[in-house]
Amino acid sequence: MNRDSNGYTFGFAAAMVLVVASVLAFTASSLKDLQSENVRKEKMQNILSTIGIETDREGAEVLFNQYITEQLALKNDGSIDASVDAFSDVKLSFELKKDAQDQRFPLYVASVDANQYYIIPLRGSGLWDAIWGYIALDNDRNTIKGAVFDHKGETAGLGAEITQQWFMDRFVGEKIFNTSGDLVGISVSKTNNDPNDTDKDDHEVDAISGATITGDGVSDMIIERLQHYLPYLKATSADLAYNN
């Protein structure tokens, strides 16, 4: 057979595309359940870790159902949209593309040892790609109980360090409202002058050298996401305990 003829070339290309496409499609669809199960459990694991409950991926589901008492999908005005399941229906990557009034804002309420925690999912942009995470507010809806961050493609050793425990620990105890009750969020700051983050009233954490853009992304993501929860936080708590 003439391997240089046009017919053979076209035939080979067509056969190759068919074979490759079916092999890949078969693998992708047969592994899909396992993969999305991993992603789902990791999400539970991340949510739990913001309130200080560390678990492996396998144990996440049981603990999640035990501690997370409410999963709310909020509208822009702070009311609850009961028709939407916050955990599985709301994908922030899609929600962020909508107008604010069409978005649903997921909120997880956890109760651990009679303490209520409010866990807010975050998503924004880093230097190269998306960054996301969860932030847990204490009972006063002001102090941060814990934060967890993750990223898609930040630089290893620099921006990717936002996933390190020491960076996430810096947020613990910081306040998102200032003393006059305005939402200020938390800034990842290069001029913090507080490398150990002992000052918990400055609304700032120390930035990572060489990760300026990723750090700014974290700051922007926190304030942008939190502001949508203001109506809910104000409505459910008449005496929001500001910075005290």
Partner 1 sequence: MSQPKSNKKPAIFFVSKESEPLFSKKNRALLKDPLDDNNPITVQVLGICSALAITVQLKPAVVMTLSVIAVMGASNVIVSILRNAIPNRIRIIVQLVVVASMVILVDQVLRAFAYDVSKQLSIFIGLIITNCIVMGRLEAFALGNGVWKSFLDGVGNAAGYGFMLILVAFFRELLGSGKLYGYQVIPDALYEMGYENNGLMLLSPMALITLGLIIWVQRARNRKLIEKN
Beta bridge partners of 109: 70, 118
- How many CA atoms lie less than 13 Å away from 167 in the CB half-sphere? 22
One character per residue 147-186, x = contact with partner 1 (rule: CB under 8 A): -----xx-xxxx----------------------------
Interaction between residue 23 and partner 1 (CB under 8 A): yes
**E strand intervals along 86-143:** 105-112, 115-125, 130-137
- Nearest residue to 173 (alpha-carbon basis) of 199, 134, 195: 199
CA 38 to chain centre: 16
Q: Tokens 């005290």 appear where?
A: 244
Nearer to partner 1, 24 or 100 (CB): 24
**Binding-site member from 24, 62, 100, 235 for partner 1 (CB under 8 A):** 24
Interaction between residue 35 and partner 1 (CB under 8 A): yes
Q: How far is the CB of 210 from partner 1 (least distance, A)?
A: 6
Interaction between residue 22 and partner 1 (CB under 8 A): no
Q: How far is the CB of 91 from partner 1 (least distance, A)?
A: 18
Beta bridge partners of 70: 109
Side chain identity at residue 30, one-letter code? S
H helix or E strand, kind and range, residue 41: helix 6-50
**Binding-site member from 18, 22, 38, 237 for partner 1 (CB under 8 A):** 38
What is d(CA 188, CA 179) in angstroms, rounded to the nearest whole number?
19
Q: Interface with partner 1 by CB under 8 A: which range of 10-18, 133-141, 178-186, 198-206?
A: 10-18
Burial (CB < 10 A; 0-12, 13-18, 19+), residue 86, is buried
Interaction between residue 18 and partner 1 (CB under 8 A): no
**Binding-site member from 57, 91, 98, 234 for partner 1 (CB under 8 A):** 57
Q: How far is the CB of 129 from partner 1 (least distance, A)?
A: 8
- Residues that bind partner 1 in the complex, under the rule CB under 8 A: 3-4, 8-9, 12-13, 16-17, 20, 23-24, 27-28, 31, 34-35, 38, 42, 57, 152-153, 155-158, 209-210
